[in-house]
């Protein structure tokens, strides 16, 4: 009876993030309906989150929570997130096969929606609610909240890395140029340098043929006439400048393609947290760079608000549009797979690992590990789809129905987590 009352109390507190989500989405929907939060603005807000809000939040939370000893002792938490992602992607592929999805972009979306769980914000709120319950503190110890937040944040490291690199590339359509740097820098390369690179490429392809060589020479003459700034400059200097600009631009674009700001921030945070002298520069009561940490904390606080506004704006046409585009059967299968199948699979995995004795025998550690496996789809997926400009209605509908059903699904996850903790 006491256990049932405890779970009931926790479910009531777990409803808080769902209420927050509903209010935030309602605000976004109202702004979109009024023409303020239009599609272009939502895309710009998604870019701002990618480049500023998410990296700032990740660096502040992760850098303050980790150190070298914790990384060695708690290695299973990021591994647990990666296992959940791999299992989720496999289940997503099975769902796509069951629903006979033929559209490549819809297939990618289903895989990402089932594979990527909310292992950051939602578990943080649940852990806070759990550790404020007196019975849970008796179960998990006096420092329940501090340890629980550290556990969750360490799992966020792996989640951020995969979501903003691998999943980001999966969601990107083949013709889409994701990298903002590519648009800003590569297109800003002068017409003179671009023309030189093109001429050099043609020169390499034609070889030593006299007729084709004449065409290249004609192109050089045309280029010189159209670009007066090239006159009087040596060919080698032009070649070196153009090649360097083009190579640097494309290299930076490719790096940012796979290592976007949130991923870079997460690894920098781990490096700073693992190195005590660096950590003391940013974190602590008298940290020399404490002002930098505080400002990043201000910016990081904007992530949740921007994510909820984007999701609400995307839902302004109603969640029913997702059922029309995806099909009711596909939508129901995705929701069921993420909210029911994944918590059960995750509980099985954590139970097997717990029995092996290779991870800390801490009930709270087990609880967070199960909680990581049983959350709805990450809200970051809505931000990424908005950034790429496709599957916006589909992912919005998926998130709407999942978070609408989050309360009973969290009940299942909490029951599984308490059973092993």
Same-domain pairing of 307 and 218? no
Domain check: are 317 and 383 in the same one?
A: yes
Mean pLDDT of 41-63: 87
Going by pLDDT thresholds of 50, 70 and 90, the confidence category of residue 363 is: confident
Closest CA to 43 of 380, 400, 393, 385: 385
Show Cβ contacts of residue 329 under 8 Å, excluding neighbours closer than 6 positions: 99
Beta bridge partners of 377: 117
**Over 80: is that where the pLDDT of 264 sits?**
yes
> What is d(CA 253, CA 260) in angstroms, rounded to the nearest whole number?
10
DSSP state of 316: G
pLDDT of residue 240: 66
Same domain (yes/no): 252, 269: no
The CATH code of the domain that includes 163 is 1.20.1530
Residue 88 is predicted with a pLDDT of 93
Domain that holds residue 250: 184-256
pLDDT for residue 124 is more than 80: no
293 with 395, same domain: the answer is: yes
pLDDT top residue among 2 and 79: 79
Judge if 152 and 250 occupy the same domain: no
Angstrom distances, CA of residue 223 to CA of 58, 66, 69, 198, 228: 48, 56, 61, 11, 9
343 in the same domain as 269: yes
Q: What is the pLDDT of residue 11?
A: 62
Determine the average pLDDT of the residues in 134-150.
76
Angle at 109 between CA 105 and CA 114, to 5 degrees: 155
Give yes or no: residues 157 and 21 share one domain.
yes
Q: Is the pLDDT of residue 121 over 80?
A: no
Closest CA to 163 of 377, 323, 392: 377
Among residues 256, 271, 289, the one where a domain terminates is: 256
Burial 249-282 (b: 16+ CB within 10 A, else e): beeebeebbeebbbbbbbbbbbebbbeeeebeeb
Residue 252 and residue 262 share a domain: no
User: Domain tally for the chain?
Assistant: 2
Residue 420 pLDDT grade (very low, low, confident, very high; cuts 50, 70, 90): confident
Whether the Cβ atoms of residue 350 and residue 373 lie closer than 8 Å to each other: yes
Mean pLDDT of the chain: 77
Query: What is the pLDDT at residue 110?
Result: 94
More confident residue, 290 or 186: 290
pLDDT score at 206: 46
Handedness of CA 289, 280, 262, 362 (dihedral sign): negative
Range with top average pLDDT, 128-137, 142-151, 282-291, 307-316: 282-291
pLDDT higher than threshold 80 for residue 61? yes
152-165: pLDDT as tens digits: 888 888 888 888 88
Does residue 203 sit in the same domain as residue 172? no
Give the model confidence (pLDDT) of 337-350 as tens digits.
999 999 999 999 99
Residues 127 and 142 in one domain: yes
Q: What is the DSSP letter of 49?
A: I
Q: Do 275 and 251 reside in the same domain of the chain? A: no
pLDDT score recorded for residue 231: 47
Shared domain check, 168 and 203: no
pLDDT digits (tens, 9 = 90+) for 203-258: 444 444 444 444 445 544 444 444 455 444 556 666 666 666 656 665 555 555 66
Query: For the segment 375-400, what is each residue's pLDDT rounded down to a tens digit?
Result: 889 888 888 888 888 888 898 889 88
- Point out the domain boundary residue: 216, 232, 256: 256
Helices (H), 260-341: 261-274, 276-282, 290-300, 302-314, 320-326, 328-336
Residue 374 predicted with pLDDT over 80: yes
Q: From 213, 234, 256, give the residue that closes a domain.
A: 256
Quick one: what percent of the chain has pLDDT higher than 70?
73
pLDDT at 93 over 70: yes
Q: Which residue has the higher pLDDT, 191 or 53?
A: 53
Would the pLDDT of 91 be above 90?
yes
Give the pLDDT confidence score for residue 16 in this predicted structure. Answer: 64
């Amino acid at each position: 009876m006491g256990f049932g009352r405890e779970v009931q109390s926790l479910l009531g507190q777990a409803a808080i993030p769902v209420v927050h989500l509903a209010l935030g989405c309602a605000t976004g929907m109202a702004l979109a309906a009024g023409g303020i939060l239009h599609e272009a603005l939502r895309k710009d807000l998604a870019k701002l989150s990618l480049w500023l809000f998410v990296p700032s939040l990740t660096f502040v939370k992760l850098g303050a929570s980790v150190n070298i000893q914790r990384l060695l002792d708690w290695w299973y938490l990021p591994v647990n997130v990666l296992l959940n992602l791999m299992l989720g992607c496999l289940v997503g592929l099975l769902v796509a096969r069951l629903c006979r999805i033929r559209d490549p972009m819809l297939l990618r979306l289903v895989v990402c929606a089932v594979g990527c769980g909310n292992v950051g914000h939602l578990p943080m709120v649940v852990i806070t609610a759990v550790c404020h319950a007196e019975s849970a503190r008796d179960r998990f110890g006096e420092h329940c909240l501090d340890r629980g937040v550290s556990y969750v944040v360490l799992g966020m490291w792996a989640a951020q890395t995969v979501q903003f690199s691998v999943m980001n590339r999966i969601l990107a359509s083949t013709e889409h140029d994701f990298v903002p740097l590519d648009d800003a820098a590569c297109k800003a390369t002068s017409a003179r340098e671009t023309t030189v690179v093109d001429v050099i490429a043609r020169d390499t392809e034609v070889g030593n043929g006299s007729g084709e060589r004449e065409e290249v020479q004609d192109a050089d003459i045309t280029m010189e006439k159209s670009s007066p700034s090239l006159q009087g400059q040596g060919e080698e200097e032009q070649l070196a400048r153009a090649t360097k600009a083009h190579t640097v631009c494309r290299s930076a674009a490719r790096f940012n393609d796979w290592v976007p700001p949130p991923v870079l921030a997460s690894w920098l945070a781990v490096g700073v947290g693992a190195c005590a002298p660096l950590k003391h520069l940013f974190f602590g009561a008298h940290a020399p760079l404490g002002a930098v940490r505080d400002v990043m904390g201000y910016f990081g606080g904007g992530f949740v608000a921007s994510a909820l506004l984007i999701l609400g704006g995307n839902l302004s046409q109603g969640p029913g549009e997702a059922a029309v585009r995806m099909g009711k059967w596909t939508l129901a299968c995705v929701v069921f797979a993420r909210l029911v199948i994944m918590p059960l699979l995750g509980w099985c995995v954590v139970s097997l690992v717990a029995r092996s004795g290779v991870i800390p025998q801490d009930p709270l550690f087990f609880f967070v590990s199960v909680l990581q496996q049983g959350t709805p789809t990450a809200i970051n997926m809505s931000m990424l789809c908005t950034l790429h400009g496709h599957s916006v209605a589909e992912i919005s509908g998926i998130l709407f129905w999942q978070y609408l059903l989050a309360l009973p699904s969290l009940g299942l996850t909490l029951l599984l987590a308490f059973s092993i903790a």
